[in-house]
Amino acid sequence: MSSTEPGALERECEGFCHYLMGRAPDAYVLAKYAEAHRLTTDYSRGSRFDRLLVSFAAWGSFSASLADSYASLFARQGILRRKLVLLLAILESSSPAHGFLDAIEPTPVFLLALQLLGRGILFGIRVLAISLVLLPLQLALGGSPPRGE
């Protein structure tokens, strides 16, 4: 699957939107996501491992969360992270999606701390689980530079 084909991009964008904010993108977000891919190779250039990771993430929200958890530590500059950053930038720039980042109700700190702890633990579990599969694959296929390089 080529990640620059319109149909594939649409599915990918939908999957990533569900993953990031729990709902589908509107037509405008889909169009801007596709437009960015047409205008630059920033979101298609990468290693075999990068492309495999994107394909895996595009299966759905759960696979996206697994792939991103891994990429956030071991493939920070890879295509998947670039695509997610692009989508975040589009979402925070446009209505009505921008609300998912900047509209919150006041939350008591202890409640927030509990939520963060829970999410943090889940993140750790996801990283551990998926690393067992993806780390050997990345070493075999050659991945993006690890964090900090």
Partner 1 sequence: MDRIVVVGSGPSGVHFALSVLRKGYDVTMVDVGFPKPAVVAPDSTFRGLKENLDDPVRYFLGEKFEGVVLPQPGREYYGIPPSKNYVFRTPAGFDNVTRGFAPLFGFAQGGIAEVWTGGCYPFNADELSDFPFSYAELGPCYGEVARRIGVCGAADDLARHFPVHDNLLEPLELDGHSAVLLAKYEKKRALIQGEWKCSVGRTRVAVLSRDLGSRKKCTYLGRCLWGCPTGAFYTPSLTLAECREFPNFHYVTGVRASHVRLDANRRVSHVVVAPADGGNPQEIPAERVALAAGALSSSQIYLESMYRHTGEVLKLDGLMDNRQILVPFVNLGLIGQPYNPESYQYHQVGMGIEQGTPKEYVHAQVTTLKTAMLHPIIQNLPCDARLASFVVRHFHAALGIVNINLHDTRRPGNSVTLDVQTAPGRPRLVIEYSPAKGETEVIRRAVRTVRKALGALGCIVPPGMTHVRPMGASVHYAGMLPMSRTAGEHTVSETCESHAVKNLYLVDGATFPFLPAKNITFTLMANAVRVADAAF
In the complex, which residues of this chain contact partner 1 (CB under 8 A)? 19-21, 28, 32, 35-36, 39-40, 42, 65, 68-69, 71-73, 76-77, 81-82, 84-86, 88-90, 92-96, 98, 100-109, 111-112, 115-116, 119-120, 123, 126, 147-149
CB of 141 to partner 1, least distance (A): 20
- Kindly state the tokens that stand for 21: 């904010």
Sign, CA dihedral 140-59-20-62, equals negative
CB of 136 to partner 1, least distance (A): 21
DSSP line for 81-138: HHHHHHHHHHHHHSTTTTHHHH------HHHHHHHHHHHHHHHHHHHHHHHHHHHHHH
**In the complex with partner 1, which residue's Cβ is closer, 2 or 41?**
41
How far CA 116 is from CA of 47, 64, 98, 109, 123, in Å, comes to 33, 20, 22, 10, 10
**In the complex with partner 1, which residue's Cβ is closer, 11 or 123?**
123
**In the complex with partner 1, which residue's Cβ is closer, 52 or 68?**
68
**In the complex with partner 1, which residue's Cβ is closer, 48 or 119?**
119
How far CA 99 is from CA of 42, 94, 104, in Å, comes to 27, 9, 8
CB of 90 to partner 1, least distance (A): 5
CB of 19 to partner 1, least distance (A): 6
